[in-house]
């Protein structure tokens, strides 16, 4: 493993010497190789799915690839290549009182390691973002997608062949070896855990390397007393049911008591179409059929067709609930009251806060980044969907003309 990591560290220096056009051409070449190997990749994915007997249906959906999803992944890679160059960008410049000229410029972080579960598209997306930002990249995918990831890496490695080096490595290693990896700060500059709460906690507690993470995706939709019903239904169902296994899916609806009967009566049959299991407060139980919600329910990221519903007396109670249970990921208000929206946007502490839009938009592709290495709830360095710019640091370049201190 040390040999592999050292080779990536060396290759990153070579990658950084390439021009922006050369790095973009490499990403386009990867997308082309993936399309060329479509049949092999889909066959590997079918084998992974056949082995994934213990996964929930929602998690199987995360794992599954078809030709349309593969084409969408490739289009995302090409979108990353088409973005403006960030490496070498002058962020700001000034002349100090001594006369020296100071420029702050964007530079790569170095080598980024990602540990992730189930979603094989992450392999290509993080690799492309790393190439665009001139970073080396070490990938550790989940065992559920092992064959798909290896098929992706075959395509990626063939795209690197003309260069004579490869700045991306895939580690097919055990949990014990992951623990060893987390101590290798001499090779890796940043680590990104992308998966469930247990994975993120394990990496955060054991890493000697700076961690870019989100703890969990415990997202809320607050339906305000000034809601417009059809808008509220569309957003709520999209946020919960479009892809429940992803981290930007809603886990709890908070409903103002003045519209609770109207909203819950209308949303209930829509949730039942998706066979959503509902956990509700006593006030909810008086309006619709549900199981009793506990503290544990409110504190759980389901990643499944399960949902909490709580009726609240005011926006203050909704904000207090989010402050208590929210994970700082994505929170949304549905309201036609401008003041209520502005208060919610201002007071909620999360990486992304939405007014009258689904939490499902907290995504690098939807933000125009092409993809993301992850969605960060950190307060330092980067927050929200982390695209190319979030994979840069900076240094100061100083021009003088004989000045001394």
pLDDT level of residue 41 (50, 70, 90 thresholds): very high
The predicted model gives 140-153 an average pLDDT of: 94
Do 113 and 190 touch, CB atoms closer than 8 A? yes
pLDDT tens digits, one per residue of 357-374: 999 999 988 998 888 888
Burial class (CB in 10 A: 0-12, 13-18, 19+), 268: middle
pTM of the model: 0.86
Summary mean pLDDT of the chain = 95
Question: pLDDT-based confidence at 96, cuts 50/70/90?
Answer: very high
Q: Which two tokens stand for residue 398?
A: 């100083």
Q: Quick one: tokens of 385? A: 């969907």
Query: Rounded mean pLDDT of 86-100?
Result: 96
pLDDT of the residue at 53: 83
- Dihedral angle of Cα 104, 16, 76, 74, to the nearest 10 degrees: 170
Give the pLDDT confidence of 316-327 residue by residue, as tens digits.
Answer: 999 999 999 999
Position 353 scores a pLDDT of 98
57 pLDDT exceeds 90?
no
| Structure confidence at residue 107 as a pLDDT band (50, 70, 90) | very high
- Judge whether residue 199 has pLDDT over 90: no
Secondary structure E strands in 97-188: 101-108, 111-116, 136-140, 168-170
Is residue 191 over pLDDT 80?
Answer: yes
Residue 215 has pLDDT above 80, yes or no: no
CB of 145 closer than 8 Å to CB of 48 = yes
* 72 pLDDT above the threshold of 90: yes
Please state the length of the chain: 405
**In this predicted structure, what is the pLDDT of residue 195?**
78
pLDDT at 298 over 90: yes
CA-CA distance, 199 to 113, in Å (whole number)? 14
Query: What band does 260 get if pLDDT is binned at 50, 70 and 90?
Result: very high
Both ends of the chain: CA-CA distance in Å?
46
- What is residue 370's predicted lDDT score, i.e. its pLDDT? 82
320-348 residue pLDDT tens: 999 999 999 999 999 999 999 999 999 99
Spatial separation of the C-alpha atoms in residues 74 and 79, rounded to whole Å: 9
């Amino acid at each position: 493993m040390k040999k592999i990591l050292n080779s990536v560290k060396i290759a990153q220096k070579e990658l950084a010497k390439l021009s922006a056009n050369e790095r973009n051409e490499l990403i386009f070449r990867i997308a082309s190789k993936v399309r060329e190997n479509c049949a092999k990749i889909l066959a590997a994915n079918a084998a992974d799915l056949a082995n994934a007997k213990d996964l929930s249906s929602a998690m199987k959906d995360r794992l599954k690839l078809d030709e349309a999803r593969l084409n969408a992944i490739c289009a995302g890679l090409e979108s990353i290549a088409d973005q403006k160059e960030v490496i070498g960008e002058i962020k700001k410049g000034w002349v100090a009182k001594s006369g020296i000229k100071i420029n702050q410029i964007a530079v790569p972080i170095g080598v980024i390691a990602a540990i992730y579960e189930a979603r094989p598209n992450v392999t290509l997306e993080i690799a492309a973002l790393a190439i665009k930002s001139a970073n080396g990249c070490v990938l550790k995918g989940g065992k559920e997608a092992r064959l798909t990831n290896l098929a992706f890496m075959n395509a990626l490695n063939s795209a690197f062949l003309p260069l004579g080096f490869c700045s991306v490595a895939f580690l097919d290693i055990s949990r014990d070896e992951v623990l060893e990896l987390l101590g290798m700060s001499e090779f890796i500059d940043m680590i990104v855990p992308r998966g469930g709460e247990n994975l993120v906690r394990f990496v955060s507690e054991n890493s000697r390397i700076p961690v870019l993470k989100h703890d969990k995706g415990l997202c809320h939709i607050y339906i305000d007393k000034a809601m417009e019903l059809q808008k509220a239904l569309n957003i709520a169902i999209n946020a919960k049911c479009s892809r429940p296994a992803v981290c930007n899916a809603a886990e709890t609806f908070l409903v103002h008591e003045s519209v609770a009967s109207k909203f819950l009566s209308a949303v209930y049959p829509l949730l039942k179409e998706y066979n959503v299991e509902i956990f509700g407060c006593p006030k909810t139980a008086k309006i619709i059929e549900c199981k009793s919600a506990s503290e544990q329910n409110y504190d759980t990221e389901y990643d499944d067709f399960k949902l909490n519903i709580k009726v609240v007396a005011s926006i203050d109670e909704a904000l207090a609930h989010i402050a208590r249970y929210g994970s700082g990921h994505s929170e949304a208000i549905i309201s036609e009251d401008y003041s209520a929206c502005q208060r919610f946007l201002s007071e909620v502490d999360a990486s992304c806060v939405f007014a009258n839009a689904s939490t499902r938009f907290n995504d690098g592709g939807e933000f125009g980044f092409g993809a993301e290495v992850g969605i960060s709830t950190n307060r330092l360095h980067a927050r929200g969907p982390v695209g190319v710019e979030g994979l840069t640091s900076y240094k100061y370049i100083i021009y003088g003309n004989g000045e001394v201190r």
